[in-house]
Structure 1
């Protein structure tokens, strides 16, 4: 991705980055997560809330963890991700959607993200 495009997107506010992720993930049917030690999803403390970080594209996720050698980026199929979100019946899972360099992100629960992704996917049918 061109540096100027990257900067324009990452500088969007939390709501705009959230919308960008929803559109991009629905379009390409993939989402990117941060893993630690290859098999365990990594969490971060954002505004005092433990969250799983999700990204619309690999390069944004890679840039976010560039100094953390123990972490890696994994691509996940959208529908497998949605199935995983559905297992969180209590909605206690917090997701930080597309955090920027300052670790600012919109934080949502599993059902909100799942519903927004599914609603966007319906637009593509």
Structure 2
């Protein structure tokens, strides 16, 4: 990824990064998380939130602090829609959508993110 594109996208407000995430994931058919003996998590409003990114480079940029030593790992979009998001909903977890090292992230209920991704995927059919 070109460094200038990385900077421009990372500087977007959280709502715009959320929209970028949805578009990019629908296009590439994969979601990125951070993994090391388990998936990276964060606490948001007293709930477990799992961070997800649209591209490996953005995930890698957040592999520091509590997530030092974690590595980007792809999740197929089909698995994400069919298994991950329903499972997270059942576990009362949140999706931490496209966090960046400097700034906020969008926090979404799994059902809401599922609806966003399905809505975007319909445009590709």
The runs of 5 or more residues in structure 1 that have no matched partner are none
Q: How far apart are 1:36 and its partner, in Å?
A: 2.4
Q: How far apart are 1:90 and its partner, in Å?
A: 4.0
Superposition map of 1:1-125 within 5 A: 1-37=1-37, 40-46=38-44, 49-66=47-64, 68-84=67-83, 85-90=85-90, 92-102=92-102, 104-125=104-125
RMSD across aligned positions (CA): 1.8
Per-residue CA shift, 1:58-114, capped at 9, x if unaligned?
000001115644311110100101112123454712011001112510100110111
- TM-score of the aligned structures, taking structure 1 as reference length: 0.88
Per-residue CA shift, 1:26-75, capped at 9, x if unaligned?
011000011122xx111023465431000000000001115644311110
Which deviates more, 87-96 or 12-21?
A: 87-96
Conserved 8 A contact 2:47-2:92: no
Tell me how far apart the structure 2 counterparts of residues 31 and 55 of structure 1 sit (CA, whole Å): 6
More strand by share: 1
Per-residue CA shift, 1:7-41, capped at 9, x if unaligned?
1000000000000000000011000011122xx11
- TM-score of the aligned structures, taking structure 2 as reference length: 0.88
The runs of 5 or more residues in structure 2 that have no matched partner are none
How many equivalent pairs are there?
123
